[in-house]
Amino acid sequence: MSVLFRNCSAHRLPSAATAGWVLVDGSRFAAIGTGDEPQADRVIDLHGAHVYPAFVDAHVHLPATGLYAVGMDFRGERSRTAILESFKERAADRSALLFGGNFEDPLDEPISRVELDGAVGDRPALLVRADMHSSVVSTALLDQLDLTSLEGVDKGADGSPTGYLREQAAAAAWTWFDRNLPKEQVRDAVRTAVKLAYSKGVTSVHEMHVVEWRGWGAWDTLAEATSGMALVVVPYIATTDVERVRSMGFNRIGGDYFLDGSFGSHTAWLAEPYLSPPPNGSSSTGISYRDDEGLYDFFLEAQKADLQVGVHAIGDAAIEQAISTWERVGREVGVPEVRRKGHRIEHFECSSDDHLDRARTLGLRASVQPAFDLYWGGPGGLYAERMGWDRAREMNRFGTMLERGLVVGAGSDSTVTPLDPFVQMQAMRGHHLEDERLGRTLAIKTHTMGSRALAFGPGLDGTLEAGAVADIVALDRDLAETEIDDLTATEVLGTWAAGTRVWPPESAESD
Ligand SMILES: [Zn+2]
């Protein structure tokens, strides 16, 4: 069936020229033009809307995104009382999910399990920090966990756990909570997350499944929940089990395969010590999760199995480990072979010019989260507090990455930052460092063609050209004419995935 979208400004990425109508035949663009309109089985009048290729979010955790959407989201909340009140209200319903996310340290007063128990009584409750590397648990949840051999258990003056957990211990709490959710609840949460994506003009996500946290079964639940949906879910499974991933039919592996932790939790792996003192008992340079030999064996095996590999690397020491290990693989199989797969580095935050040049030589692609800079960058931000502005200003240099020839794509790492391309474009255009800001059109391209290219390499799709897959978003404004601060007010009038309308739901259609 052919559909003519008329009466619109169609932004013909990559050229940035505009056209007045778009003809879709089946799942692909058939023609784009201005003036004389072709015949079509169906005509949709867009009433002057601005049309772009739909967005691709290159780093997402859909189940968590859904949990946050159906649970409590404490983004920006600093008040202990407000958080505890919310838990108390929720707990009045015995079947409600006692999950809260996105809290930011420090709160006005810290929360320990004692206060959380006061709000939820004897029920397991989980409060997760914005970076997901720390959490607070109620006593009922703490009692379910075996934390004896795990790092990251905060202890009070009397030696008993305060309920504040970091890294391994926080992951154990998440895993228990996650695995004990009824399947139905997980499915509902995932579907909520998918609707959220559509409502923001996103038709494809790269899903980062962390096996260490969520287990293998959770992947099946996710696959089941999203099957039959128009959303393209590109799977990145964080495991070294190359055979298993191949047998699942995937040609990519890793993603959030952790080489280190995060800045918020003092666990990003740095070459030089943190400036702000890490919590008692933890290393002054963060945490390294993998030894060089093990990582080399994994990279080499995946490369030989023809898989694209992604790894999570935030600190400069972690990024150095990823790059030097790929260089080693290059010496074994040849750099062109490594380049051909276009392996990814997720986050890629603390990278020197030398890192970027070596990464380009290896054809490594940069999966960045622009809003990390928006929320935690700048001279007064969290990163500067953690290691001083001189070092923090070397982070998240999107402009330099593109200038030096890296393939760069944008993602939200939702729930770490919102699954919202308009927030990400705001961050790309308004980087704390003027030199690193992306131009208006480049910011759009990075979230459409760039994000897509992280998984598939540069190609036609993700553009608005005849022959490309008809992933379309219709907006109430011209993004290139919109000031940075107004971007997040953009209204998504409609989203189509491969020619099928997914937002607003078909039932809401009026034409
Ligand atoms: Zn990650």
DSSP calls for 248-302 = TT-SEEEEEEESS--TTTT-S--SS--SSPPPTTS-TT----S-HHHHHHHHHHH
Backbone torsion region of residue 167, taken as left when φ is above 0, otherwise alpha when ψ lies between -120 and 50, otherwise beta: left
Q: Which of 407, 509, 421, 411 is nearest to 473 (CA)?
A: 421
Which token pair is 366?
A: 């940069």
Give me the pLDDT at residue 510, please: 44
Q: Which residue has the tokens 């990519």?
A: 252
Distance 71 CA to ligand 1 centre (A): 22
Whether the full predicted model's pTM is greater than 0.85, yes or no, is yes
Distance 129 CA to ligand 1 centre (A): 14
Per-residue pLDDT of 230-269, as tens digits, reads 999 999 999 999 999 999 999 999 999 999 999 988 999 9
Domains of the chain in sequence order: 2-54+469-508 (2.30.40.10), 70-179 (3.10.310.70), 239-456 (3.20.20.140)
Q: Are strands 472-475 and 42-53 parallel, antiparallel or unpaired?
A: antiparallel
Q: Which of 322, 433, 307 is nearest to 367 (CA)?
A: 322
Distance 85 CA to ligand 1 centre (A): 31
Distance 40 CA to ligand 1 centre (A): 45
Distance 88 CA to ligand 1 centre (A): 31
Distance 59 CA to ligand 1 centre (A): 8
How far apart, in whole angstroms, are the C-alpha atoms of residue 220 and residue 371? 30
Of the given ranges (200-209, 222-231, 232-241, 430-439), which has the lowest mean pLDDT?
A: 222-231
Distance 166 CA to ligand 1 centre (A): 15
Give me the pLDDT at residue 290, please: 97
Distance 267 CA to ligand 1 centre (A): 12
Q: How many CB atoms lie within 10 A of CB 73?
A: 18
- Top mean-pLDDT range of 16-20, 68-72, 406-410: 406-410
How far apart, in whole angstroms, are the C-alpha atoms of residue 398 and residue 439? 11
Distance 309 CA to ligand 1 centre (A): 13
Per-residue pLDDT of 371-382, as tens digits, reads 999 999 999 999
